Amino acid sequence: MKLEDFNWDRYLKYDELTSALRGLSETYPDLCEMYSIGKTWQDRDIWCLEITNKKIGKPSEKPGLYVDGNTHAGEVTGCMICLYSAWELLSTYATDPKIQTLVDTRTFYVVPRLSADGAELYLTEPFIPRSSIRPWPHEEEQDGLNPYDVDGDGVIAQMRVQDENGSWRVSEKDPRVMVRRKPNEVGGKYYTIYGEGLIKNWNGVEVKQAPNRWGLDVNRNYAANWQQDHMQPGSGPYPFSEPESRSVAEFFESHPNIVLAQSYHTFSGVVLRPGAAKADKDLSPKDLKALKEIGAIGLETAGYGCVGVYEDFALSKDVVGKRPLWGVALEWMFEHAGAIAYSTEVWDMPNRAIGRNDSYKTLMDWTEDENVQMQKWNDENLGGEGFINWRHFDHPQLGPVEIGGWKHKFVIQNPPPKFLRQECEKNARLFVEMGLTSPLVKITRLEVDEVAGGVYNVKVVARNMGYLPTNGTDQAKKNKKAKPVKATIELPEGAIVVGGTKDIEIGHMEGRLAVGRAFGGGVQAEHLCQWVVCAISPVTVSVKVGNERGGFDTKEVRLIPKACAEA
């Protein structure tokens, strides 16, 4: 698939995605390599594109920038943002100075689709699985109302059933909108609302919701404050029980250079940061400052504010903050891997329609006027096609019902295809701008003085040119996930170190984050290392400074004894 000719107005199935990724790796072999980081439950490869200029340093010796999408099966926009990001990095490398700098000096790890099994079901069937489609906690479909496309229109919508004791009525402002019945309201036409589906082993009276047959949530399966399912629904039987989350953890462990991570989800229009299960006061003040300042790039670039999951993220109008989420990826990436980590919830149709950022509420939480505004947006932008108007249907069990509601998949949960590219563009740029904050070790001076015949004082000055320190986070130092910066001199045969040691440990190097009153002030530090070297004949020595997260810089210098030069 040639992405140059792609209109970015549709969502790719697994084989199409694989073809697109392979096409990028074959088109840009000097900058891109494609490989699998693991297998899904149904044995699909979890593809990764490793993007860096291979001619300028090893990928493992540059700061690592990790980005993934489609942790949740239905959040396919995240996959397309990752694909677009990879395409932009590669196709604009020669013309965009920022991207060229990043691709030369950092390594991108782009993992577009984690829950590939669930995404394939989502894109090919009416169902809306959460993430993995491994049946859990039950092997078989359970008794009760199970989602099913009973009218065969390709969408699992809602059913409303006339009920004199129902909790809903039709809005007088828009017949598509359902309004909650007031506690003292009587004398009207009322309805009970169910999800579209069939009732297994129905007794002819009770309609109870069946447990989700795909109850796993890969983004609750990480070993960061993990809790059992009764505390955190979807968490799975034990941490990293699922191959998708386990593959991510193993990838981080084998790539200690990863210093910054971004996961793309839908939908809310917000950049989420740690902590997820703890308050801001329990984070390192320096890490919290970095998380907030880097996260603020989301507002500048994508129009998405940055909020702490535990502190600020409201899951409904009745729950504002202070609700822990256990076992989530961004918490594990921060707490265990010591990386600066975000989960960006892209797309925000309700916010576009209503003008406020509360779109993480359920649709049942919107007021009548807000729902009317959403329908107006639907009419103006989609010609009304985003909503299925309520229509009569003879349900095989419930009898006369009306089926209707939002086309949730590609209106609420993901942007309609006509809006997909703009989501891809702004969020791809978001990660580029975030990537520029990563640490970067550079040798700024390399000097040699011959202090005696064949004896040299070799001096190297290095500094961190990035915003973040070379450890990335205080958490990484605490966990010992970031090795200290070292300066190493490599000598050929005929030269030896006679003063000092070959390896000099510098420690962690601060970046621009630490320049300021909050963390001691002063000028960003330069670091001096020196060796006394003896060489009886002309030789070339190499000096290497860095660590995995800050990257390594290497410079060479020629030692020519004066006696040899004069001869």
H-state helical runs in 383-521: 417-435, 474-479
Whether 272 contacts 341, CB under 8 Å: no
For residues 119 and 14, is the Cβ–Cβ distance under 8 A?
A: yes
Q: What is the three-class DSSP state of 551?
A: strand
Torsion of CA 305, 311, 312, 313, to 10 degrees: 100
pLDDT at residue 284 in the model: 94
Beta strand pairing status for 168-170 and 178-180? antiparallel
pLDDT at 345: 94
Q: Which residues of the chain have pLDDT under 70?
A: 1, 314-322, 356-365, 515-524, 563-567
Q: Where are the beta strands (DSSP E) in 267-328?
A: 270-273, 305-308, 314-316, 319-320
Task: Name the packing angle between helices 116-124 and 14-27 (round to 10°).
Answer: 120
State residue 127's pLDDT score.
96
Q: Which residues contact 201 (CB under 8 A, 6 or more apart)?
A: 143
Question: What confidence tens digit (pLDDT) does each residue in 527-566 have?
Answer: 999 999 999 889 999 999 999 999 999 999 998 877 555 4
pLDDT at 367: 87
pLDDT for 190: 97
What pLDDT does residue 322 have? 59
pLDDT at 358: 47
Short-list 265, 301, 275, CA closest to 431: 301
Interhelix angle for 76-91 vs 116-124, to 10°? 110
pLDDT, position 365 = 67
Identify whether the C-beta of residue 542 lies closer than 8 Å to the C-beta of residue 495: no
Strand partners, 351: none
Region at 546 (left for phi over 0; alpha for psi -120 to 50; beta for the rest): left
pLDDT at 320: 45
